[in-house]
Amino acid sequence: MPRSALRVDAVLVQAVIAGALSFAHLHDLAAAAGQDGWKAWAYPVSVDLLLVAAWRRLRTDGPSRLAWCWFLIALVASLGANVATAGLLDLGDVPAWLRILVAAWPALAFMGGTLLAHSPVGHTSAPAPAPEVEPEPAATAEPDPLPVAVADDTPTLPAADPDSAPSAVPVPAALVDHARKVAADHQQRTGVRIDTDTLRARLGVPPHLADAIAAQLA
């Protein structure tokens, strides 16, 4: 025979023995408290059924104050009967308070069973699913803005006719003064008079405008 089958059978036998002893102790205590006949046999059934109902509520619906409360009440009643019938009490002369507890047990067990069977289960509601967010349309690439011309403080030189004479090209006075400083600096450094090509390169002006400036510097 497999070992698992032997282990299960041993557990069942142990459960049957423990249940029978607890059942007998509850019966003896109820009978000693004045509950004779079939009533004494009904007490252990009531206690065990309440214990099983509370444990089933804990296993199926999860821990709760209601299930734990009635489980502990039924467990105390079962253990109390086992201890009381072990010689701590004189079953021939049961105290009044114990008779009151035994007499009140049916109503207490009925209320516990009713609450366990009909009380709503406080399950935690599942969180609502997050709303789906529609993807935003891809932003169309905007054309790069046209470059903005930056205003220059340099005076704009008028376009001159290349066929006209150098003297006919108007030259701003500020540009002529700047050309004189450039020419003087060149002559001071080199000892020679500045030529038209060097003047045009230093000022960065067109050839016809450089000729007109050189004519005014002569």
The model carries a pTM of 0.45
The counts of H helices and E strands in the chain are 7, 0
pLDDT band, very low/low/confident/very high, at 163 (cuts 50, 70, 90): very low
pLDDT band, very low/low/confident/very high, at 137 (cuts 50, 70, 90): low
Kindly report, residue by residue over 173-205, the tens digit of the pLDDT. 887 888 888 888 888 888 888 888 888 888 888
Q: For 110-137, what is the mean pLDDT? A: 65
For the record, the structure tokens of 13 come out as 């036998």
Long-range residue pairs from 106-109, CB within 8 A, at least 24 positions apart, any chain: 106/46, 108/73, 109/46, 109/47, 109/49, 109/50, 109/74
DSSP state of 82: H
C-beta of residue 179 within 8 angstroms of C-beta of residue 199: yes
Distance of alpha carbon 60 from the chain centroid: 29
